[in-house]
Amino acid sequence: MSDLKDLTEGTVMSDTLKVPLRTPPAEQLPARRVWTVVLAGLGALLCSLDVVVVSTALPALRADFGASLSDLEWTINAYNLVFACLTLTGAALGDRFGRRRMYIVGLAVFTLGSAASALAGGPGELIGARMVQGAGAAVLLPLTLTLISEAFPAEKRGVAIGVWGGVTGLGVAAGPVLGGAVTEGLSWQWIFWLNVPLGLAMLPLAATKLRESHGTRPQLDLVGLVLAAAGLTGLAWAPVRAPQVGWVSAEVLSALAMGVVSMVAFLAWERRGARYPMLPLAYFRRRGFATSNAVAFLLFGSLLGALFMITQLFQTGLGYSPLEAGVRILVWNAMPLLVAPVAGALADRFGTRPFMLGGLVLQATGLALLAWQVEPGVRYGQLVVPLIIAGIGISMVFPSVANAVTSSVPLGDAGVAAGVNNALRELGGVFGVAVAALVFTQYGGYGSPASFLDGCAPALWVSAGAAGVGALVAAFAPSRGQEVSLAREL
């Protein structure tokens, strides 16, 4: 209760963030802030839930549609690919046309994509509907973080972001159980239908309870939007297609070339040509901004790569039903719900670096222990402790990264920071799933449970390695004193 009281007290202006804001009457602030956290958390819940809930249904989709490994990858990667490529655009649209307005638009598109996914009659239709969902999430998710950053002063933002991270963790925690229960008790279509009533209920609440705000740029950087989307599409498309067509195929090499050339052109345009750049490149010279974004990329590469394998491990490798698998994975995925709010609050006091560094070390350790245990004859009891260790680590990093990236830029550019962070973390997720699938196919397959375990263990070792590299990056993040100094400068 004390954290909730902290969230609803104070003023919007802080001494360290000297950004003029139009504030509502003081008596309206507590209720507005509570609604902001609730609606931002629910928006993040929908976006995170739809990554995890689908993963539990992968075996059912394979059986129902006769789907290949490539089809299964695309049910996850189609969402992540569009999400990664459009999230900078979503953040920019919110800054230009209003964050509340675009939150509503993103939520409506996401809800529509959920209904289309439920009605899909084959892998192609499902993948197309997942792309619509990804477009909605690309607008919705970065604005959830921006709305919180705008509503709370810097000294209380960590607690609010911790609550946001905890609700996001609820989506991660509930996803496998919900997906397993719905898939087993009803059908896989209902994992998408469940989003529809929640989205419809949130639309009028967002229109009446959120306060409208805008960014500092009076017009869109259209050239930058096109170049960024083209560059991210090329860089994300290559690892998604490589397991099917090969890394040295013309398709993959062309996609990489297009991605690199477009991103170089984007950076050149943002540096010299754009009147109102969507991404001020000077922010990457700040250690807090650069390290937190690199950590986000590696965190989600490790997390989604491991998730792609673990949800199938419990069903294909160990023979559990979807519901049984979801319940057993809960010891891993429930940790953000329990730990993230506490980590967010403590990061306000001790800084974000200890929690990013320590969390990634725990994530790497847990996944490495898990990979070490995965072999023929493994029992569930042997996997519980590694899953808990990895889950605690992920929970410490979630709110710390979000707080670090938004605190490293002026408040008016919180949307830009959130957009960059979400783009990189979703791009990391695309690479993580693609690399995990590539390693899996090199060492194993779906021919038998033993064959699956042969491929699963090396894929998990790679995911553990990605988290280890993230820990090395986090070690170079600013200290608490340096974060305070930067906040005073801003």
Reference 30, options 206, 168, 152; nearest CA is 152
Give the chain's radius of gyration (CA, Å): 21
With beta carbons less than 8 A apart as the criterion, state whether 452 and 436 touch: no
For residue range 96-118, list pLDDT tens digits in order.
888 889 999 999 999 999 999 88
How many Å apart are CA 199 and CA 354, to the nearest integer? 36
Residue 376 backbone class (left: φ over 0; alpha: ψ -120 to 50; beta: rest)? beta
Best CA proximity match to 314, nearest among 180, 437, 184, 442: 180
CA 188 → CA 38, 168, 178, 191, 329, distances in Å?
Answer: 28, 22, 11, 6, 18
Under 8 Å between Cβ of 40 and 145: yes
Q: Does the structure show a pLDDT above 50 at 14?
A: no
Is 10 a residue whose pLDDT tops 50? Answer: no
Q: What is the dihedral of CA 247, 248, 252, 253, to 10 degrees?
A: 130
3-state secondary structure at position 274: coil
The pLDDT tens digits of the residues spanning 347-399 come to: 777 888 888 899 999 999 999 999 998 888 788 888 889 999 998 998 888 77
- Round the average pLDDT of the chain to a whole number and report it: 78
Question: What string of H, E and C letters represents the secondary structure of 65-117?
Answer: HCCCHHHHHHHHHHHHHHHHHHHHHHHHHHHHHCHHHHHHHHHHHHHHHHHHH
CA distance 180 to 175: 8
How far is 446 from 456, CA to CA, in rounded Å?
10
Please give the structure tokens belonging to residue 222: 């259209």
* Per-residue pLDDT at 15: 34
Q: How far apart are the first and last CA of the chain?
A: 31
Taking residues 396-411, report their average pLDDT: 79
CA distance 71 to 208: 40
Express as a percent the part of the chain with pLDDT over 90: 15
pTM of the predicted structure, to 2 decimals = 0.72
- Banded pLDDT at 445 (limits 50, 70, 90): confident
Q: How many CB atoms lie within 10 A of CB 349?
A: 8
DSSP code for 271:
I
Q: How many Cβ atoms sit within 10 Å of the Cβ of residue 11?
A: 10
Report pLDDT digits (tens) over 118-174: 888 777 788 889 999 989 988 888 888 788 877 776 666 667 777 776 676 666 656
CA atoms within 13 Å, Cβ hemisphere of 9: 7
Torsion of CA 453, 68, 236, 188, to 10 degrees: -90
Task: Answer whether 19's CB lies under 8 Å from 411's CB.
Answer: yes
21 contact partners, CB below 8 Å, separation of at least 6? 12, 13, 150, 213, 411
Query: Six-digit token pair at 277?
Result: 């750049």
Six token digits for residue 443: 């060492």
Report the alpha-carbon distance of residue 199 to residue 212 in Å, rounded.
19
Task: State the residue for tokens 């779906």.
Answer: 446
> CA–CA separation, 145 vs 155, rounded Å?
16
Structure tokens at 244: 């099917």
Instruction: Please give the Cα distance from 162 to 403 (Å, whole number).
Output: 9
